Amino acid sequence: MAIYKAKKSKLHTLLKKNNMDLEVLEQKTKIPKVQLEQFLTKKVMNLNSAMTISKELNCQIEDLYEWKTED
């Protein structure tokens, strides 16, 4: 069975697709902008944040990242 690991955030692309910036996402999700900025670069979202953000961006949780698999 494959193990999935988040490789690269696609948050920037999804924000553009939804004509949204971090300030608007912060207002809608109540997730601090500083934390959202971390999700753009290096920090992997916890499940609660990923679900909240995916609902606001009209996507699935797995759409938030590029994924790599390990056997």
What residue spans define the domains of the chain?
A: 3-70
- Look up the CATH superfamily of 3-70: lambda repressor-like DNA-binding domains (1.10.260.40)
| Residue 10 near residue 67 (C-beta atoms within 8 A) | no
| Residue 13 near residue 62 (C-beta atoms within 8 A) | no
What's the distance, CA 18 to chain centroid? Answer: 13
Q: Find tokens 């916890």 and name the residue.
A: 46
The answer to whether the pTM exceeds 0.85 is yes
Q: What is the pLDDT of residues 4-60, one digit of tens each?
A: 999 999 999 999 999 999 999 999 999 999 999 999 988 899 999 999 999 999 999
